[in-house]
Chains A and B, each alone.
Chain A
Amino acid sequence: MDTNTILVGLAGVLALAAPILFAVIGETITERAGIINLSLNGTILLSAIGGFAVACETGSLLLGFLMGMLVGALVALIVAFSSITLRQSQVAVGFVLALLGRDLSYFLGTPYMNISGPRLAALPIPFLKDIPVLGPLFFRQDVLTYLSFAIIFLVWLWIFRTRPGLMLRGIGERPAAAFVRGANVNLMRYVYTIIGGAVIGLAGPAYSLNVKAGWMGYQSGLDGFGWIALSITIFGGWNPLRAAFGAYLFSLLQWLGLVLQPVLPGIPSQVLQVAPFPLMILTLLLVNISNAEWVERMLAAMPEGLRHVTTRLLRAMRASPPASLGVPFESE
Chain B
Amino acid sequence: MDVELRDIYKTFGAVRANVGITLRVPAGTIQGILGENGAGKSTLMKILSGFMRADSGGIILDGRPVSIHSPADAIRCGVGMLHQDPLDFPPMRVIDNFILGRKGGLLPGQAEAARDFKRLAEQFGFSLNPDSYVDALTVGERQQLEILRLLWLGARALIFDEPTTGISAAQKEKLFAALRLLAEQGKTILFVSHKLEDVEGLCHRVAVLRQGYLVGEAQPPYTTKNLVEMMFGKSISAGERNPCAGGGSTLILDNLSVEDYRLKVRDVSLDVCRGEVIGLAGMEGSGQGLFLRAVSGMVRTVGGRILAGGKDLTGKSYHAFKRNGVAFLPAARLEEGLVSGLNLTEHFVLSEPPDGFFINWEQGGALARERIAGFNVKGTPASTVESLSGGNQQRALLALLRDPLALLLLEHPTRGLDIESTIYIWSKLKERCKQGTSIIFMSSDLDEILQYSDRVLVFFSGRVTPPLDASMLKTDKLGQLIGGKGWDEFTTGKSA
Contacts and interface: CB of A to CB of B under 8 A. Distances in A.
Contacts, number: 73
B108 interface: yes
A300 B75 CA distance: 48
Interface string B158-192: 00000000000000000000000000000000000
Interface in B85-123: 87-89, 91-92, 96, 99-109
A87 interface: no
B92 A181 contact: no
B77 interface: no
Contact of A300 (B72, B96, B302): B302
B25 interface: no
A170 B100 contact: yes
A174 interface: yes
B384 interface: no
B375 interface: no
B71 interface: yes
A208 B87 CA distance: 46
Nearest to A164: B106
Interface in A82-110: none
A173 B89 contact: yes
Nearest to B81: A180
Interface in A162-178: 162-164, 166-167, 169-170, 173-174, 176-178
B201 to A, nearest CB: 29
* Dominant secondary structure of chain A at its interface with chain B: helix
A332 B101 contact: no
Interface in B236-261: 261
Contacts of A183: 101
B70 interface: yes
Nearest to A320: B91
A182 B71 contact: yes
Contact of A181 (B71, B83, B300): B71
B87 A180 contact: yes
B261 A312 contact: yes
A296 B300 contact: yes
A297 B300 contact: yes
A185 B393 CA distance: 29
Contacts of A178: 100-101
B106 A323 contact: no
Contacts of A163: 99, 102, 104-109
B99 A166 contact: yes
B424 interface: no
Given A163-B107, A164-B106, A180-B87, A169 B51 contact: no
B52 interface: yes
B91 A181 contact: no
Contacts of B89: 169-170, 173-174, 177
B366 to A, nearest CB: 34
A270 interface: no
A167 B96 CA distance: 10
Contacts of A308: 261
Interface in A276-332: 296-297, 300, 308, 311-312, 315, 320, 323, 331-332
A166 B75 contact: no
A162 B91 contact: no
B87 A300 contact: no
Interface in B29-60: 46, 51-53
Contacts of B261: 308, 311-312, 315
8 contacts: A162-B107, A163-B105, A163-B107, A167-B101, A176-B87, A182-B72, A332-B51, A332-B52
Given A170-B92, A180-B83, A181-B100, 10 more contacts: A162-B106, A163-B105, A173-B91, A177-B87, A177-B89, A181-B71, A182-B103, A297-B300, A300-B302, A320-B91
